[in-house]
Structure 1
Amino acid sequence: MSTPLAHSRILLGVTGGIAAYKACELTRLLVKAGCEVRVAMTAAACEFVTPLTFQALSGNPVHTTLLDERAEAGMGHIELARWADAVLVAPASADFMARLAHGLADDLLATLCLATEAPLYLAPAMNRVMWANPATQANRALLESRGIALLGPAEGDQACGEVGAGRMLEPAGILAALGKHKGPLGGVRVTVTAGPTREPIDPVRVIANRSSGRMGFAIAAAARAAGARVTLIAGPVALATPRGVTRVDVETAADMHRAVLSALPSTDLFVAAAAVADYRPAAASAHKLKKTADTLALALERTPDILAEVSAHRPRPFCVGFAAETDDLLANARAKLAAKRLDMIAANRVGDGLGIEQSDNALEVLWDEGARSLPRASKEDLARELVALVAERYRLIHPLKEDPARHAQD
C-alpha cells in the first residue's frame, strides 16, 4: 500500500503572511504521507514562524539565504532545485506571485523556482481585494500559462476580518490536491534500463548491438510525467537525459548489473528496456589484437541475467521485461514471461526496418492473464501508452491508500 506522495521529495517554499503558520501543519502532513521535505523560507516568512519549527517538523535543515556559504558548500541552491520532485509554495503571497511571474531571482525561494525542472505548485494566500486586483489576476494567468499549478485559493474568513476569496487552502486540502496532480505513478520509484552494452575485445574493439536507447529513454520520460521518481541506467547512447530523471551511465553488461543492483533497494517498479549483451569475451586483451591471421576465434561467456536476478530478488519490485524477436514473437515472449516470472513483458519484432534503430515501433504487451496490442506509433507515444498500461497493472497489486487528507487530524 502507498500514498500518491510516498517517497516524493517535496521542496516546500514559505512566504510572508499570516497563513505561514498553516505551513507547519502542511509539513507534518507531507512527512506523514511518506514525503521527504525540505523547506525554503523568505525573510518575511521568518517573521511569522521560526525556521527551527520547520526543521523540527521536517527533520531537515531549513534554507533561508541565497548566499549562505555553508549551504553553497553543501547542497547549494541549484542542487536543492534539482533534488526536488515537486516545488510547493504555501503560502504564496501576492508579492511572491508577482516576482515569480516576472522572473525575478532576488531571494533563495524565487531563485529555486526559476532553477528547478520539477513541477511547481502555488497555494495563494492574501486579502480578498489583493486577490481580485487585476494585477494579481494577470500574474495568475501568466503563471498558469507557463504550466504552474495554483492550488486554491479558498473562500472564507480572513485574518484581516473580511470574508472572501484569497484564503489559503487548508493543509489537508493542499495535500489532497497535490496528490491528485502526481499522476498514476505518483510516489512510485521506477528504474529503467536503456540502450546497448559494449563488451570489450581489446582496447579498440567491442561486441555491441544496434539498440539506440530511444524506447527506454521514452519510457523513462513517460514514467516521470506519470509522477514517478525515475532512475535511468543507460548504456552508451547519444541521447539527452529526460527532464527530471536521474541518469546513470554504464558501458558493459557487468556495469549495468552493478548499477541495477545498487538501485534495487529503492526500486518499486523495474523496466528492463536495455538490449544487454548475452555474451562477452571470456578474456579481453589488454593490447590491440594485430591482424596476423585469416581468422580469429573468440571465446565467449554468458553475462549475468539482470532481469531474472531482479525478478528473483526479495523484496521484489514489479518487473516489466522486453522481448525483441525476429520469429515466433508471441510464443517466445510468453516463454520469457514465464521463465523469468515477470509481471509483464513488451514484445516487438525486429529486423527488416522494424524496432531497432527506428523512430517508431509496435508492441504486444503480455501478462499472465491477458494481453494488449499497442499499434505502431512513435516511440514517445508508444511509451506513454505502455506506461499507462503498466501503471494500471501495478496499481492492481499496489493500490493507493485512502486519501491521507481524510485522516489529517489523526
Structure 2
Amino acid sequence: MLEGVNVALGVSGSIAAVKTVELAHELRRRGASVRAVMTDSARGIVHPWALEFATDRDVVTEITGGVEHVDLCGYDGWADVLLIAPATANTVGKIAGAVDDTPVTTCATTALGADTPVVIAPAMHEPMYDHPGVLEAIDTVEDWGVSFVDPRIEEGKAKIASEAAIVCETARATGERPLEGERVVVTSGATSEPIDPVRVLTNRSSGRMGRAVARACYVHGADVTLVHGHVGPHSLEGSSPVAGLSAGEDGVALPYANVEQVETAAELLEATLEACSAADALVSTAAIGDYTLEPSEEKLRSGAERTLDLEPTAKVIDEVRKSQPTLPIVGFKTETSGDDGAMIEAARETLARAGLAFVVANDASVMGSDRTRALLVHEENAARYEGTKADLGAEIADSLAVVLGDDPSS
C-alpha cells in the first residue's frame, strides 16, 4: 500500500506517543521508509532511541544548521508526506497559526509551503478536542489541504486513530487518485436469513474481499459506501480480526467507508438500491444468500425432522440494473468447480445478462482466507490473479478507474 513512500513521522507530546513505535513498524510493513521527528514533550514520553530502532534511521530532535526541516519537507525534500501522529491541540493550533517553535511544527510549515502532503492524527482529551479554537484550527488547516484522521472518542478522550486508519489515510494522501470525485458503492460479507430467533441460514463469506475493495477504492480517491452483511462461520484457527478495525471498535466503524450494516438479502438489496441512486459505480462483492424463508417466531425444538420451505431471493445486480440502466457494475461469481474455463464461462453469462463492466470469478475455497485466486473477466479477455485479497482489491480499483475514465457519464 505504501511501497516506495518516504514518510516523515512527526511525534508530539501526547501520551499516545507510546503507540508510535508500533505505528512506525506498521508503516514499514506496508512498504514505507520512515524517519521520525520529535518535539521536546514527545521525548519525555517515548525515547528517541525507540523510534530510531523502529525506523532504522536517525531521529530529528532539533533543527540545526543542517536545516533538517528543509531536507525532509522542503522543495525536493526526502519526504513524500509529513504524518503527524499523535498531534496535540497545541501542535494543531501552532500549525494553523504558522508558529514553528518545535521540530514538528517547523516541518509542518515547511511542508505546507512546499506543497508536500500533510496528514494529522489528533490525540487529546475530549474537552480539548471540543474547544472552539481547536476546532477552528482543524477547519483552517483542512482548508489548506491537510488530511485529518479522526480520533476515536472513548472514555472522555479523543484517542489516536487505529494504525489501519492512519496507514490508509497516508496511502490516500500520497498515491495517485484516479477515482477522485467518484462515489463507489461496495457490498460485502454474507447475508443471513433467520430460521427462528436462534438459527440462521447463511454462508462462509468473511467479507475480507469486499473490505479490501472498499479500502482500495478509498485510497484511489473515491468516496465509498460499504453495504456490509454478517461475517460467516470459520474455525478458530482460521479466524482473525476484521481487517481495518482496531480492538475495541464495534465491528462497523471503518476508516475508509460509510458503512450500512445489514443482515438479510432483502435488507442488503434495499440499502444497495438506495446507495446506488447517487453512485457512480457498484462493486457487488457480497455473498448474498440465494434463498430465504418465513421464520418461526419461536425457537424450533430440536430432535424432530423438519422441512424448510425455501424461496429464491432477488438478484441484487439485476435489480440495480433495472433501476440504474447505465451504472457501471462490477460483479463477483463464486464457483466450486476449480476449472478456469468453467469459471470464465459462468462469469461471461453473468456479465452479459446484467450488462456488467467486468466480473471477478473465484473458487469458493478462498472464502475466509487472506489470499485468493481469481479471474478478472471482461467481455473479450480474462486476466488471472493469485495473491492477497488486499492486492486484488487494488487491481479491481485500478480496473474500475479505467472503466469510469471511459464512461462519458461519470
1:201–1:284: 8 Å Cα contact kept in structure 2?
yes
User: Do structure 1's residue 148 and structure 2's residue 118 form an aligned pair?
Assistant: yes
Measure, in 2, the Cα distance between the counterparts of 1:136 and 1:255.
48
Measure, in 1, the Cα distance between the counterparts of 2:325 and 2:173.
26
Structure 1 residues 80-159: aligned runs within 5 Å? 103-105=87-89, 110=92, 137-140=106-109, 148=118
User: Do structure 1's residue 342 and structure 2's residue 366 form an aligned pair?
Assistant: no
Match of 1:214 in 2: 208
Match of 1:256 in 2: 268
Give SS of 1:193's match. Answer: strand
Match of 1:86 in 2: none
1:220–1:242: 8 Å Cα contact kept in structure 2?
no
**For 2:406, which of 365, 381, 396 is the aligned residue?**
396
Give the CA deviation at 1:106.
5.7
Per-residue CA shift, 1:137-196, capped at 9, x if unaligned? Answer: 54446889x96179xxxxxxxxxxxxxxxxxxxx9x99xxx9997701000000000000
Measure, in 1, the Cα distance between the counterparts of 2:85 and 2:217.
29
**For 1:204, which of 195, 198, 201 is the aligned residue?**
198
Per-residue CA shift, 1:243-290, capped at 9, x if unaligned? Answer: 231111101101101111121211111000000001011x21111111
**For 2:345, which of 331, 341, 345 is the aligned residue?**
331
Computing the radius of gyration from Cα coordinates, the structure with the larger value is 1
Measure, in 1, the Cα distance between the counterparts of 2:193 and 2:328.
28
Unpaired runs of at least 5, structure 2: 1-83, 121-142, 147-171, 232-240, 246-252
2:226–2:260: 8 Å Cα contact kept in structure 1?
yes
* Letter of the 1:228 counterpart: A
Measure, in 1, the Cα distance between the counterparts of 2:184 and 2:314.
21
Structure 1 residues 165-244: aligned runs within 5 Å? 183-237=177-231, 239=242, 240=245, 241-244=253-256
**For 1:285, which of 282, 292, 296 is the aligned residue?**
296
Unpaired runs of at least 5, structure 1: 1-99, 114-121, 151-170, 401-410
Per-residue CA shift, 1:71-98, capped at 9, x if unaligned? Answer: xxxxxxxxxxxxxxxxxxxxxxxxxxxx
- Label 1:138 to 1:284 Cα distance change in 2 as closer, same or farther (>3 A): closer
Give SS of 1:266's match. Answer: coil
Per-residue CA shift, 1:75-124, capped at 9, x if unaligned? Answer: xxxxxxxxxxxxxxxxxxxxxxxxx89834269xx48x9xxxxxxxx9x9
1:196–1:235: 8 Å Cα contact kept in structure 2?
yes
With the length of structure 1 as denominator, give the TM-score of the two structures: 0.55
Measure, in 2, the Cα distance between the counterparts of 1:180 and 1:135.
19
* Letter of the 1:337 counterpart: L
Match of 1:96 in 2: none
1:221–1:242: 8 Å Cα contact kept in structure 2?
no
* Letter of the 1:258 counterpart: E
2:185–2:227: 8 Å Cα contact kept in structure 1?
yes
1:101–1:142: 8 Å Cα contact kept in structure 2?
no
2:214–2:256: 8 Å Cα contact kept in structure 1?
no
Per-residue CA shift, 1:192-241, capped at 9, x if unaligned? Answer: 00000110111111100000000001100000000000000100136234
2:117–2:173: 8 Å Cα contact kept in structure 1?
no
- Label 1:298 to 1:231 Cα distance change in 2 as closer, same or farther (>3 A): same
Measure, in 2, the Cα distance between the counterparts of 1:288 and 1:134.
64
* Letter of the 2:297 counterpart: A
Give SS of 2:366's match. Answer: coil
Give the CA deviation at 1:380.
0.7
- Label 1:102 to 1:235 Cα distance change in 2 as closer, same or farther (>3 A): closer
2:332–2:359: 8 Å Cα contact kept in structure 1?
yes
- Structural RMSD (CA): 3.8
**Structure 1 residues 210-219 or 256-265, which shifts more?**
256-265
User: Do structure 1's residue 371 and structure 2's residue 382 form an aligned pair?
Assistant: yes
Measure, in 1, the Cα distance between the counterparts of 2:382 and 2:262.
32
**For 1:266, which of 268, 275, 278 is the aligned residue?**
278
**How many pairs were matched up?**
256
- Label 1:360 to 1:180 Cα distance change in 2 as closer, same or farther (>3 A): closer
* Letter of the 2:178 counterpart: P
1:217–1:242: 8 Å Cα contact kept in structure 2?
no
* Letter of the 1:276 counterpart: I
2:184–2:217: 8 Å Cα contact kept in structure 1?
yes
1:346–1:363: 8 Å Cα contact kept in structure 2?
yes
- Label 1:141 to 1:199 Cα distance change in 2 as closer, same or farther (>3 A): same
1:192–1:220: 8 Å Cα contact kept in structure 2?
yes
* Letter of the 2:257 counterpart: V
* Letter of the 2:367 counterpart: I
Q: Relative contact order (alpha carbons < 8 A, sep ≥ 6): 1 or 2 greater?
A: 1
